[in-house]
Amino acid sequence: MKMKSILLTLSFALSLIACAPKDSDIQKEITAKLADNPEVQVTVQDGVATISGICKDGAFKKEIEASIKEVKGVKSVMNNCQIVQPEETAAAAVIITTDSVLDKAVSDVVKSYNGVSATVVGGVVTLSGEIKRSQLQPLIQKIQELKPQKVDNKLTIK
């Protein structure tokens, strides 16, 4: 009688093992689930699903993992999916005006400020002379709008 119960228990355990999904079947189901996400790959070994590839963000990574955990036969999930860092945008190009064009534009601006003179050498505007404090900021702003490489302020404030 003992032998019969041992054999019965053994045959029941074997039938349960035989009914468990095979790694290849689990793999097929996961691959079908991820058909819309070719950037993510999953391998299955002994019921352990390992995710690799590229995920666009953390939420997507968690979503993929949760989706795979739902597949029958998956015992655990190792999520090795890498999150893509956003690309940095290039800084806007600064247009530097040539000396002759810049010199003329600076002269046009400076002529309305009595006692102020300016020179342009190598894209650098050098301001000299005297100016009222209230006029300094508008002058500097107008000169900066001309996009010189640098403004060298040697003005004396009255």
**Domain check: are 151 and 117 in the same one?**
yes
Of 83, 107, 125, which residue sits at a domain end? 83
Residue 17 has pLDDT above 60, yes or no: no
Residue 27 falls within a domain, yes or no? yes
Cα–Cα distance measured from residue 153 to residue 13, given in angstroms and rounded to the nearest whole number: 90
**Domain check: are 79 and 104 in the same one?**
no
Provide the residue range defining the domain that includes 124.
99-157
Q: DSSP labels for 28-74?
A: HHHHHHTTT-TTEEEEEETTEEEEEEEESSHHHHHHHHHHHHTSTT-
What is the model's pLDDT at position 128?
92
Distances (CA, A) of 41 to 45, 46, 50, 62, 132: 14, 17, 8, 14, 70
Mean pLDDT of the chain: 82
**Domain check: are 114 and 78 in the same one?**
no
- Residues 6 or more apart from 92 whose CB is under 8 A from it? none
**What domain count does the chain have?**
2
Query: Residue 33's pLDDT band (boundaries 50, 70, 90)?
Result: confident
**Domain check: are 27 and 79 in the same one?**
yes
Residue of higher predicted confidence among 90 and 24: 24
**Domain check: are 110 and 141 in the same one?**
yes
Of 83, 115, 134, which residue sits at a domain end? 83
Residue 12 falls within a domain, yes or no? no
Of 3-17, 67-81, 91-105, the least confident: 3-17
Of 83, 110, 130, which residue sits at a domain end? 83
Residue 36 falls within a domain, yes or no? yes
Residues 2-22, mean pLDDT to the nearest whole number: 62
**Domain check: are 71 and 103 in the same one?**
no
Q: What is the pLDDT of residues 107-129, one digit of tens each?
A: 999 998 988 999 988 889 999 99
Residue 88 falls within a domain, yes or no? no
Query: Residue 87's pLDDT band (boundaries 50, 70, 90)?
Result: low
Query: One-letter amino acid identity for 84?
Result: V
Residue 9 falls within a domain, yes or no? no
pTM of the model: 0.45
Residue 21 has pLDDT above 70, yes or no: yes
CATH number at residue 105: 3.30.1340.30
Task: Report the DSSP pairing between strands 48-55 and 76-79.
Answer: parallel
Q: For a pLDDT cut of 70, what percent of the chain falls above it?
A: 79
**Domain check: are 78 and 103 in the same one?**
no
